[in-house]
A = this chain, B = another copy of it.
Amino acid sequence: MKKILLSHGGGGEETQKLIKDLFFKYFSNEILEKMEDSAILDINSKIAFTTDSFTVSPIFFKGGNIGKLSIAGTVNDLSVMGARPLYLSVSFIIEEGFDYDDLEKIVKSMAEESKKSGVLIVTGDTKVVPKGSIDKIFINTAGIGKVIYEGLSASNLSEGDIIIVSGTIGDHGACIMAEREGMEMELDLESDCASLWDLVEYVINNDIKIKAMRDPTRGGLSAVLNEWAFSSNVNIEIEEGKIPIKNEVQGLCELVGLESYNLANEGKIVFAVDKNDAESLLEILKKHPLGKEAEIIGKVIDGTDKKVILKTTHGTKRIMEPPSGELLPRIC
């Protein structure tokens, strides 16, 4: 089987060949193929700029792989800032001896995922490190988007605002956990890994007014809500019974003693909107394949303690603490 060699990352002839044979084959576009030290872009607008490194293990999982995730993740970070994803950089760090075929699978799914939001991969880098210096493959993507919806911010929330989540929570985290524990066969879990630009654009095009959007990845729903409570200096109350969650995810959480709202998602958005806009947003979301399981899960209540309060299904109330401690490493 063809393997990735150190020489593929040396910057010489073999690197050129890898770029042309594999990366250009899938990522082909005029800007990338110029092969200059930087891509030259003409945007002439306010832009959004973001980056993420992906270290997920296993690299192939139900519903995606590290490549698909690396595109969707950065596309989503742009999308939730109201920015149409335009350009990506991609940087691979690969362990010597990595299967060429697996790399091709990853690159192919990156190309497919890019098409979903129309984002172009315009610049990149490939490093190959000796066996043992890295576990298989890590991918960094950085992204540039054109801001088409301004004013979104974690500090926009005020009393009465409604919190909406675009679908079931914890799917990605539960899927990775099950795969690692060898439980993926018994449990029918699948990552929700998806590019969310299409959903965001649909919401914007329907003239829905949004105060804040965030994709709840590492740290899950509780990280987003606690950040919002903190940045906006408000309290948020969430009704546990209204949080959409798959039975299998709930089951796994009970089995291993984790809270689903701490689990990573890779294809969901949390929205904060004025109470007068909540029903329209929910209606629009439910019309889109990526938002059909959307639900109103809570609201901003009075007080400035910067707390998130969870009303349990038993009617009791407790604090939804921000996630802390050793959460699942290499989840994304």
B residues near A36, Cβ cutoff 8 Å: 81, 152-154
Chain A 15-43 against B: per-residue CB contact (8 Å), 1 yes, 0 no? 11000000000000000001111111111
B residues near A124, Cβ cutoff 8 Å: 51
A130 on interface, CB distance cutoff 8 Å? yes
A147 on interface, CB distance cutoff 8 Å? yes
B residues near A14, Cβ cutoff 8 Å: 324-325
Do A325 and B38 form a contact, CB below 8 Å, given A53-B93, A133-B330, A140-B53? no
A98 on interface, CB distance cutoff 8 Å? no
Within residues 298 to 332 of chain A, which ones have a CB less than 8 A from any CB in chain B?
Answer: 322-330
B residues near A231, Cβ cutoff 8 Å: 35
A283 on interface, CB distance cutoff 8 Å? no
Within residues 137 to 159 of chain A, which ones have a CB less than 8 A from any CB in chain B?
Answer: 138, 140, 142-145, 147, 152-154
Determine which of B49, B134, B264 lies in contact with A38 in the assembled complex, contact meaning CB atoms within 8 Å: B49
Determine which of B53, B76, B91, B214 lies in contact with A52 in the assembled complex, contact meaning CB atoms within 8 Å: B91
Determine whether the beta carbon of B326 is less than 8 Å from that of A10: yes
- Bound complex: CA of A135 vs CA of B218, how far in Å? 23
Determine whether the beta carbon of A323 is less than 8 Å from that of B133: no
B residues near A9, Cβ cutoff 8 Å: 329
CB distance from A89 to the nearest CB of B (A): 4
A123 on interface, CB distance cutoff 8 Å? yes
- Bound complex: CA of A65 vs CA of B128, how far in Å? 19
- Bound complex: CA of A145 vs CA of B38, how far in Å? 9
A219 on interface, CB distance cutoff 8 Å? yes
Determine whether the beta carbon of B89 is less than 8 Å from that of A138: no
Do A50 and B37 form a contact, CB below 8 Å, given A11-B218, A330-B130? yes
- Bound complex: CA of A268 vs CA of B184, how far in Å? 52
B residues near A47, Cβ cutoff 8 Å: 40-43, 47, 144
Residue of B nearest to A144 (CB): B49
B residues near A178, Cβ cutoff 8 Å: none
- Bound complex: CA of A77 vs CA of B252, how far in Å? 47
B residues near A6, Cβ cutoff 8 Å: 326-327, 329
Determine whether the beta carbon of A41 is less than 8 Å from that of B50: no
Residue of B nearest to A218 (CB): B11
Determine which of B39, B46, B264, B330 lies in contact with A41 in the assembled complex, contact meaning CB atoms within 8 Å: B46
B residues near A16, Cβ cutoff 8 Å: 322
User: A57, A96, A125: which has the most chain B beta carbons within 10 Å?
Assistant: A125
Determine whether the beta carbon of A147 is less than 8 Å from that of B40: yes
List the 3 shortest-distance A-B pairs measured between CB atoms, nearest first: A11-B218, A142-B142, A11-B219
9 contacting pairs across A/B (C-beta < 8 A): A5-B326, A11-B219, A12-B223, A36-B153, A38-B143, A40-B81, A40-B147, A51-B123, A129-B329
